Chain A
Amino acid sequence: MLSDPITRRALFEVLILALALGPLGVWVLLHRQAYAAESMSHGLLPGLVLAALAGVPLVLGAAGGALLAAGAIALAARDERIRADLGVAVAVSALFGLGALLALAPEAPPRLEELLFGDLLGISGADLLAAAGLALAVCAALAAAHRPLALTAFDRGAAHALGARALHWETVLLVLLGVGTVAAAPGLGSLLLVALVIAPAAAALRVTRRLAPALALAAAIAAGAGFGGLALSYYADLAAGASVAMCAVAAPILTRLAT
């Protein structure tokens, strides 16, 4: 499998993403932002479609889509006339529908499947470089923000007295979630990338009761899911992104059965 250059490149991509998305997922779960992660990844579809239509790199479309999604989610969540989760659900469904509408237009190239589920085996060198840069930036930022993120997740009411403004660090986490989502979108697609954020983190938090090991373990589980998924795809001739997502989701199921 590793002698195949296409699979090797896909493996690099998924291992780099695992390094960032695993720990990012732990913070997302500890801050109870799993729904935001799901919303962000689904809501960026219009950006991906527009990038595909314009022929620009998907990572740029993902960035624009993530900004649009974050703006719509923030606006919907702040409307006091409706419940925040309802507002976010409506905003994300509308964005996802808009993306599908654009992708299914007669003049659009037939790439909807790739945008929804990614194209791990068709990843370009530029995509790989962009993903690596963004993933490393997320890792560095998470390491730098470790203490304030812990304070605000553990004891929001006392965080300010201990030196961390809750709203400030919650926004930082959402920005990092956006960056991680953008990094993963070309390879794993709008629908599947959230599996690599949430599932390894859920498994890691079930196995260990300490924060630092949970962060490391989530990265390791995400990397294992990436390797296992690509092996499954290579030997069983299955879609690569979906195989990675299935392996990632298997981790919390197995840990739940085992513990």
Chain B
Amino acid sequence: MSAPLVRTEELSGGYRPGTDALTGVTFAAEAGEVVAILGPNGGGKSTLFRALLGELPQRRGTVELAGRPAYVPQTERARLDFPVSALDVALMGAYGRTPWYRRLARADRAAARAALARVGLEAEAGERFGALSGGQRQRVLIARALVQDAPVLLLDEPLSGVDAPSAARIEALFEELRGEGRALLVATHDVRQARSWQRVLCLHGRQIAYGDPAAVLTPDVLQATYGAELVVLGDGSTAIAVEHHEH
């Protein structure tokens, strides 16, 4: 068994001293695994990401990462009126490794174009970011993370609200990234989709469960994760989490 790319041990923390937004998270993700992070809004998905990114003001427990993770936020968090093209946004993935006094390397420009091609947006490289569709914008933000070339990618609801072609492209890309030996942590509300990935982490202010989808995604665990926000259909094999978007 290879060493995990992400590992946490009793990870807890929050935004103010004495108030934990998330407690007791212990999990490990290996190379080639996609981990679905399930939970209601306010359940701790974003808090977990901020803890892994080293941005959580109050953090206890252990976090081990194979390298600096790349983060893909929800597309509506990015400014639509900002004067940048899709290529400019993808290039931002190279900013962290470029000293302020250096121009961006030619190799970084090539990497940004290649990343856009990978997400199917080579032709839109010169388009203004704010003029793209929601799904295309999401793919540009994923391209930016690809340019970072990180072993671990944290994706915040990347498939929520995107058009079908974009969703298909993103899911295919997840498979490619798995094949490259990266680990992906994907916050999602889609329980059915979570079943198709390798691991599931259920959060509701604390860790409810972690493991294989078949073992974790039981009606009891989903009920504990989502509470009143969950609708379980039929024999319990299909569950729908009711989405409430935060504004």
In the complex the two chains form, is B100's CB within 8 Å of A145's CB?
Answer: yes
Least CB distance from B228 to A in Å reads 28
A102 at the interface (CB under 8 A from B): no
How far in angstroms is the closest Cβ of chain A from B158? 13
State how many angstroms separate the Cβ of B227 from the closest Cβ of chain A: 27
Question: In the complex, which residues 168-219 of chain A have their Cβ closer than 8 Å to any Cβ of chain B?
Answer: 205, 208-211, 214
Chain B residues lying within 8 Å of A239, measured Cβ to Cβ, are none
**Interface flag for A236 (CB, 8 Å):** no
Q: Does residue A150 face the partner (Cβ distance < 8 Å to B)?
A: yes
**Roughly how many angstroms separate A68 CA and B98 CA in the complex, as a whole number?**
36
Contacts of A160 in B (CB 8 A): 53-55
Question: Lowest 7 CB-CB distances: which A-B pairs, in order?
Answer: A163-B96, A161-B71, A155-B78, A154-B82, A147-B95, A158-B73, A211-B83
Task: Contacts A160-B54, A209-B128, A210-B85 known; list 6 others, CB within 8 Å.
Answer: A154-B82, A158-B72, A163-B95, A210-B83, A211-B83, A211-B84
Binds A, one of B15-23, B33-41, B86-94: B86-94
Question: Shortest beta-carbon distance, B195 to chain A, in Å?
Answer: 28
B42-58 interface (Cβ within 8 A of A): 53-55
Q: Is A153 an interface residue (CB 8 A)?
A: yes
A82 at the interface (CB under 8 A from B): no
Q: Which of A38-70 contact B (CB under 8 A)?
A: none
Contact A162 B82 (CB under 8 A): no
The interface residues of chain A lying within 8 Å CB-to-CB of B55 are 160
Contact between B77 and A157, CB atoms less than 8 A apart: yes
**B100-141 interface with A by 8 A CB criterion:** 100-101, 128, 141
In the assembled complex, B244 has its CB within 8 A of some CB on chain A: no
CB distance from A98 to the nearest CB of B (A): 35
Once bound together, how far apart are the Cα atoms of A160 and B53, in whole Å? 8
Q: Is the interface of B mostly helix, strand, loop or mixed?
A: mixed
| Bound complex: CA A205 to CA B83 (Å) | 8
CA of A32 to CA of B85 in the docked complex: distance in angstroms?
A: 20
Q: Tell me if A30 counts as interface (CB < 8 A to partner B).
A: yes
Total chain A interface residues with beta-carbon distance under 8 A: 25
User: B69 on the interface (CB 8 Å rule)?
Assistant: yes
* Contact across chains for A144 and B100 when beta carbons are under 8 A apart: yes
Please list the residues of chain A having a beta carbon within 8 angstroms of any beta carbon in chain B.
30, 144-148, 150-151, 153-158, 160-164, 205, 208-211, 214
Asked if B79 and A154 make an inter-chain contact with CB atoms under 8 angstroms apart, the answer reads yes
Contacts of A164 in B (CB 8 A): 95
- Residues on B with C-beta less than 8 A from A147 are 92, 95, 98, 100
Residue numbers in B under 8 Å from A158 (CB-CB): 71-73, 77-78, 141
Pull 28 A–B residue pairs with CB atoms less than 8 Å apart, ordered by A.
A30-B82, A30-B83, A144-B100, A145-B100, A146-B100, A147-B100, A150-B92, A151-B95, A153-B79, A154-B84, A154-B89, A155-B73, A155-B79, A158-B73, A158-B78, A160-B54, A160-B55, A161-B53, A161-B68, A161-B69, A161-B70, A161-B154, A162-B92, A162-B144, A163-B97, A209-B83, A209-B128, A211-B83
- In the bound complex, residues from chain B placing their C-beta under 8 Å from that of A163 are 95-97
Nearest A residue (CB) for B78? A155
Per the bound structure, the CA–CA distance linking A131 and B134 in Å amounts to 45
CA distance A157 to B71 in the complex (A): 9
A154-B98 in contact (CB<8A): no
- Report how far A163 CA is from B154 CA in the complex, Å: 15
The CA-CA distance from A160 to B50 in the complex, in Å, is 10
